[in-house]
Amino acid sequence: MTYRGLPVAVRAALGIALVIGIGVMLGLTMPTALSAVAGVIVETPTKIPWLTSRVTAFLAYVAITASVVYGLLLSTKLLDAIAHRPVSFALHQDLAAVGLGLAAIHGALLTLDQTINFSIADLLVPFASPYRPIGVGIGQLAFYVVTLVTLSFYARRRIGQRTWRLIHYLTFLAFIGSTAHGILTGTDSSQPWAFWTYAGSATIVVFLTVYRIVTGVASSRERRSAARSGRAIPAAVAPLTLRRPA
């Protein structure tokens, strides 16, 4: 599938829809959010680290999920018609790095929270947390997996494409661990927005994964059939090769 780009009218319509959507979302949520933040700052300033850690945790989950989704879209070549592959790959890599950074900030802020009093060891050693050690431990393991996958981006030339792809499969474990961490720790899972965030993310990832497996099996059969008959392999089912962006 070659890059064609979206028509100008479609890009303009998507831009307008995005601006309107963001405006509506901010208009509906900003007053309540600002009021809640102001109340915390004025009445219970000691909860500021906890509140900030929750925000960074949520943003980290969104970034990690977006990176996983982007990786699946790249592997299925669904983005190739509307976006250059090097640009998409760079965004996939950057989202993983942003998610890792936000997750690290989330953990660092917990050491400032006086509600539970996390120590450095509690944050670094899986399942050593004084608060819900199973849920927190799963999140810690997911963080280490995200760290490994993110570092593999920058070492791809040294470790080779095959090793990089094998490491990259661990992204699914990072996503599953991040989702389980958010649910099991219980801080947000009772909120409707959190439920729909986890449910929506899981639905998208499962759908794209199944789609990738089905198309991969079909491509393998097509390649075997082409090899037996001696005909050329169509570009649409040729093996996927990720190239390093310029």
Q: What is the DSSP letter of 231?
A: P
Mean pLDDT lowest among 7-11, 15-19, 151-155, 169-173: 7-11
Total Cβ atoms within 10 A of residue 68: 26
Place of tokens 């474990």: 173
Place of tokens 């393991």: 141
**pLDDT recorded at residue 178:** 92
Q: Is residue 138 over pLDDT 90? A: yes
The Cα–Cα gap between 148 and 170 comes to 9
Residues of the chain above pLDDT 90, percent: 23
Sequence spans of domains, the chain: 1-43, 46-237
Q: Which two tokens stand for residue 89?
A: 């790959």
Q: Which two tokens stand for residue 141?
A: 């393991």
The Cα–Cα gap between 83 and 141 comes to 33
For residues 35 and 153, the model is more confident at 153
* Res. 225 pLDDT band, cuts 50 70 90: confident
CB of 142 closer than 8 Å to CB of 177: yes
For residues 35 and 242, the model is more confident at 35
The Cα–Cα gap between 53 and 193 comes to 17
Determine the length of the chain: 246
Give the chain's count of helices (H) and strands (E): 9, 0
Q: Which two tokens stand for residue 20?
A: 């309107």
The Cα–Cα gap between 201 and 7 comes to 28
Amino acid at the residue 12 = A
Global confidence as pTM:
0.78
Mean pLDDT lowest among 17-26, 173-182, 197-206, 234-243: 234-243
**pLDDT recorded at residue 103:** 93
Q: Which two tokens stand for residue 178?
A: 């991040």
Place of tokens 């990738």: 212
Mean pLDDT of 120-128: 89
- Residue 155 phi/psi, 5-degree rounding, is -110, 15
Environment class of 36 (CB within 10 Å of its CB; exposed 0-12, middle 13-18, buried 19+) = exposed
Q: Mean pLDDT for the chain? A: 81
pLDDT by residue (tens digit) across 70-119? Answer: 888 888 877 776 777 777 788 888 999 999 999 999 988 888 877 778 88
Q: Which two tokens stand for residue 127?
A: 């399942």
CB of 113 closer than 8 Å to CB of 53: yes
